[in-house]
Copies of this chain bind each other. A is one copy, B any other.
């Protein structure tokens, strides 16, 4: 009996996204963070997985606060999850985006005095403008209100009132390294700063911050990667995260190669023995980093075919990848699926010399996104 029906495949690669796993990850993080609430960071199209479907799924799981990077992302999310949840826009108020903030009731995250003044100017005369968050830079030295401006927020008459804030937040630079001294330093700075602010909800932790423990949780944590099946720290075994995303690349052709022949672009791989290869339909345009290519210097990674591993050989090209199936025992014919990522997301990110976040956000639009749930396609 053959498992694959050759008649049933398309050449288009498929991205499976397991919504049950996302819900489970949300619940695990909620249990860990309780009594703090868990918001979701859905920037960059929910890390490439689709903000509409992921937003609805997390709303269904009880999530009521969301973070996006840009107002345009917020507008799409608002359309998906209705008017009730909070949507904060991390980049803050940019003058050209003001209409989006008002139209979709998006809350700007104020990252500087300048952004505060831009926002106040734009809401002049507007009835019931959205509330805002203040984001303090406590040592990451990226976006956020610098220490030098904090005093103005504290002392300038009417400024905080006019901003009508409902959240004070900061962001950890080194939560991926639990032992890094900057974590505690940022925590202390955040506490000092927050103490000078009105009594509103506080938030500091991304996924890594959740694992740093109670003192980092405050009222609201805001994981991203941990929801989507990636580890967030250098101690992945301490993280309880279920894989979410797989690339399924159909086999288009099987070939026999003679010892000494070269494979693919720039002839980077030479067959050391006679081999059998499968050309599968997914390449770097679909999200497989070219740095996973297998060359004469080194085989970097494998795809899974059934329960077996098939090494990637030759340069990964835009649309196709070559697998060595010489030692695969399963009968492989066209239409068979080669699987990337999934439980190997972190490993394949490391093999590609990047991080799981970058892998996810580079997943190709060309992949057909198929949303599955436990017991349905799994």
Contacts and interface: CB of A to CB of B under 8 A. Distances in A.
Interface of A: 6-12, 43-45, 47-48, 69-73, 89-92, 94-97, 111-112, 114-115, 118, 137, 139-143, 146, 148, 173-174, 176-177, 180, 182, 250, 252-253, 255-257, 261-267, 277, 279, 281, 284-285, 289-291, 314, 317-320, 322, 334-335, 353-355, 357-358, 361-362, 364-366
Nearest to A361: B285
B277 A141 contact: yes
Given A11-B92, A11-B97, A252-B111, A141 B264 contact: yes
A5 to B, nearest CB: 9
26 contacts: A6-B118, A7-B96, A8-B95, A8-B96, A11-B69, A11-B71, A12-B72, A43-B318, A69-B318, A70-B319, A70-B366, A115-B253, A139-B261, A141-B255, A141-B263, A141-B314, A142-B263, A142-B314, A143-B253, A143-B279, A148-B256, A173-B262, A176-B266, A182-B267, A284-B362, A290-B354
A357 B318 contact: yes
A318 B284 CA distance: 19
A291 B353 contact: yes
Given A95-B9, A96-B10, A174 B252 contact: no
| Interchain residue pairs A-B with the least CB separation, the first 6 | A44-B285, A11-B91, A285-B361, A10-B96, A69-B319, A11-B94
A47 B366 CA distance: 11
Contacts of A263: 140-142
Contacts of A11: 69-71, 89, 91-92, 94, 97
A173 B290 contact: no
A141, A182, A291: most-surrounded residue (chain B CB, <10 A)? A141
A89 to B, nearest CB: 8
B142 A264 contact: yes
Contact of A266 (B91, B137, B177, B277): B177
Contacts of A180: 266-267
A238 to B, nearest CB: 18
Nearest to A175: B265
A102 B317 CA distance: 28
Contacts of A281: 69-70, 91
A90, A97, A264, A266: most-surrounded residue (chain B CB, <10 A)? A266
Contacts of A91: 11, 252, 281, 319
B112 A253 contact: yes
A145 B128 CA distance: 67
Contacts of A277: 141
B319 A43 contact: yes
Given A12-B71, A90-B319, A142-B279, 15 more contacts: A7-B95, A12-B70, A44-B285, A44-B364, A70-B281, A70-B366, A111-B253, A139-B261, A141-B255, A141-B263, A173-B266, A173-B267, A289-B358, A318-B357, A365-B365
Contacts of A357: 284, 318
Contacts of A96: 7-10
Contact of A250 (B89, B94, B111): B94
